[in-house]
Structure 1
Amino acid sequence: MPRTLIVTNDFPPRRGGIESFVRALADRLGDVVVYTASMPGDAETDAALGYPVIRDRSGTLLPTKRVRDAVVATFTEHGCDRVLIGSSVPLGLLAPALRAAGATRIVAVTHGHEVWWSRLPGTRQALRRVGDAVDVLTDISDWTRAQIGRALSAQGRAKQTRLAPGVDTEAFRPGAGGAEVRAQLGFEPTTPVVVCGARLVKRKGQDMLVEAWPAVLAAVPDARLVIVGDGPHRATLEDLVVRRGVADAVTFAGSVPWDRMPGWMDAANVFAMPSRSRLLGLEPEGLGIVFLEAAACEKPVIVGRSGGAPEATLDGQSGYVVDPSDPGEIAARVVELLQDPERAAAMGERGRAWVHAGWQWDQVGATARRLLGL
């Protein structure tokens, strides 16, 4: 029987979009073994899984000789015959050794960070080597495909194939716990609420929502902004909220476990994350799974024009794409949706139908199985 080795730095209990992506694939690929890094709380996580997880002694896997030998030994000892690399660089550089050990099919997954790998000398060559060594190099959006493809050989570009993340539409749905979250926050059922759920880093654009909020309040005085997540930008955001005089209208919810996120999405009237590209375009938004999760809860979404993020909504139908550097445009779209609940509801319904039709995890899992030849 075929057995797949998943090699990844990105796996629970560490939290993030890539971690959720790799875990969802592992759950849907049948007979798998995971080789990943050590991290706090991993024993409890691994005990609850239905497949073996081998933890390297390191907290970050790099394609060193020691890691290469350990990965190849795991591949052989567990009788694997194919490989999924959870993030193509740098661990895709292990592909030749795994091929020599008997791997018949190697799929390397790309996300968004490969864009800067594709643009810098040295890292660009490493990405090219990965593209030449694997059987399939996946992409999450048309935009990331084009950017990454510039670093690849013609042979590597021919291997690019779409494998975007999905959404659990049974978990992310209307009525997933929003009323309870509103009650927890002390909001009325009719309070206009905008939710932004993401790591608190500059790229995600929470600061531009705060900059837009005085204009939102001028039009919708009882509007509330809820910022879900944590990260290094939190203190800066908290200071900005005070300086803009909107502290009473902005709530910092902190980090929320993934299984509770549907309730926070469901609590919103509008989901907004005006993400932006940083560092001269080296740090873009590759796609933005949170936009799809919010849409699955029937919420209209406001998306920053960054990288592949505009592909995570139907502009003008299930949400709006905005200039992430323009607080005025952000405020105008927020106000439009809060003041026209019928239009917002129609956009939310359109978004859920779109996600249900083409962005579900079982569909993604079927694609991954096909790419691995399962």
Structure 2
Amino acid sequence: MPPSSESSDSFPLSVLHLVQPGDGGVARVVTDLVADQLGRGMRVAVACPPGTPLAAAVREHGAVPYDWRAGRQPGPRLVRETRDLARLIRTAAPDLVHAHSAKAGLCGRLAVRGRIPTVYQPHAWSFEAVDGSMAALARRWERYGARWAHRVVCVSEAERLTGERAGVRAVSWSVVRNGVDVARFAAAQDSPDPAGRAPTVVCVGRLCRQKGQDVLLRAWPAVLDQVPGARLVLVGDGPDEQRLRAAAPASVRFTGAVDDTAPWYREADLVVLPSRWEGMALAPLEAMAAGRPVVVTDVDGAREGLPPGHASHCLVPPEDPAALAAAVGRLLGRPEPRHTLGREAREHVLSTFDVRRTGAAIADVYRELTAVRCTQRGEPIFQ
């Protein structure tokens, strides 16, 4: 539960979150922050695309929504999107802006340019999502734009190091690891595998190149060789759905978008996320909170999320179907080790990745930035 606004944590700050992805992991992180910050007595507003799950959640929690019509990718509309966002910022008149992910980080920093305390949280770096000249351009922007963020918040130490290796020189860094609502996901308990039930692998995530479901589908025939009759469930939707459906055998189920992922973790014997890049993915933390072991790729945040000793069982190189199949088949075919890993995973998340820790750490960042108002001379906001 969020802290009471009447407690000693009361913090009457006005914060505006800038968010482009209206669904998926970033939206869940922002939703949890909104709930926590309202409980701390903050005045919270969110600028995000209308008609999205995030916009609905903002209204449900009682925060102030602002419609920001922005696409995921930079393009010809970037100037207009930035000007629109600047107008929203002037209307909201926040004490602090918190820009989440690449697009809002781009438009938000261009719009504010250091005029008010600015937090930028990349949730995985923009240059990891593209190749060649686009990656070089994204790296140059992240290096240049860092001057307009008073704090860059990374969700893992690995994500921070990736930024530094790319030449991003932040004014100041913080690492605030993602957290999950452990009460929501911890309802699933260990139980013997029901007789006759097919071993089930679940992958929760947007169906897109980042999440690597195509790699999992390439690995799946080798998993079936080890565990005949196993089932694979892909939970979520996204731009790659049709292509993935066309490549999937009959033992793969697609659920489409779901309102609640918790029941699917309870359905799983093993949860897999074969991402190509991340900052720190939420799905493995949610699965472990539900007492389910995970197999994940060795991208930013993965090692930091796993319990001690689990990497040798649960971590594989990205884009390696053979290694992925071997790890999945090994765990799926051995119920007792799998249950032991699941119990250890739950205890680890309960003690380390409770979302309340995340909210408190972000509140501390806000306090640090607003205790001393911006002293750097910022450029004017777009008129």
**TM bracket (short chain):** 0.7 to 0.9
| CA distance in structure 1 between the partners assigned to 2:137 and 2:127 by the alignment | 13
Q: Does the alignment pair 1:85 with 2:102?
A: no
User: Cα–Cα, structure 1 residues 117 and 227, in superposed 2: closer, same or farther, change >3 Å?
Assistant: closer
Structure 1 gap segments, 5+ residues each: 277-283
User: Residue 18 of structure 2 aligns with which residue?
Assistant: 8
| CA distance in structure 1 between the partners assigned to 2:48 and 2:187 by the alignment | 36
Question: Structure 1 residues 267-276 or 308-317, which shifts more?
Answer: 308-317
SS at match of 1:373: helix
SS at match of 2:278: coil
SS at match of 1:200: coil
| CA distance in structure 1 between the partners assigned to 2:129 and 2:297 by the alignment | 23
User: For residue 141 of structure 1, what is the amino acid of its counterpart?
Assistant: S
User: Residue 141 of structure 1 aligns with which residue?
Assistant: 156
| CA distance in structure 1 between the partners assigned to 2:36 and 2:146 by the alignment | 24
SS at match of 2:124: coil
Q: Does the alignment pair 1:265 with 2:289?
A: no
Q: Does the alignment pair 1:250 with 2:244?
A: no
| CA distance in structure 2 between the partners assigned to 1:29 and 1:151 by the alignment | 32
Contact 2:37 2:359 in 1 (8 A): yes
Question: Structure 1 residues 216-225 or 191-200, which shifts more?
Answer: 216-225
User: Residue 285 of structure 1 aligns with which residue?
Assistant: 278
TM-score by length of 1: 0.80
| CA distance in structure 2 between the partners assigned to 1:44 and 1:25 by the alignment | 15
User: Residue 373 of structure 2 aligns with which residue?
Assistant: none
1:97-116 aligned within 5 A: 99=115, 103=116, 105-116=117-128
CA positional deviation for 1:41: 5.7
User: For residue 127 of structure 1, what is the amino acid of its counterpart?
Assistant: E
1:29-108 aligned within 5 A: 29-30=37-38, 31-40=42-51, 45-56=57-68, 64-75=82-93, 80-87=94-101, 88-96=105-113, 99=115, 103=116, 105-108=117-120
Deviations 1:267-321 (A, max 9, x none): 1110112222xxxxxxx22221101111111111011223443433247427511
Structure 2 gap segments, 5+ residues each: 1-10, 73-77, 369-383
CA positional deviation for 1:120: 4.4
| CA distance in structure 1 between the partners assigned to 2:99 and 2:221 by the alignment | 45
CA positional deviation for 1:35: 4.0
Question: Structure 1 residues 57-66 or 121-130, which shifts more?
Answer: 57-66
Aligned length: 341
User: Cα–Cα, structure 1 residues 146 and 48, in superposed 2: closer, same or farther, change >3 Å?
Assistant: same
Q: Does the alignment pair 1:225 with 2:232?
A: yes
Report % sequence identity.
29
| RMSD after superposition | 3.1
User: Cα–Cα, structure 1 residues 204 and 123, in superposed 2: closer, same or farther, change >3 Å?
Assistant: closer
Contact 2:45 2:66 in 1 (8 A): yes
| CA distance in structure 2 between the partners assigned to 1:139 and 1:353 by the alignment | 24
Q: Does the alignment pair 1:23 with 2:31?
A: yes
User: Residue 210 of structure 1 aligns with which residue?
Assistant: 217
CA positional deviation for 1:360: 1.2
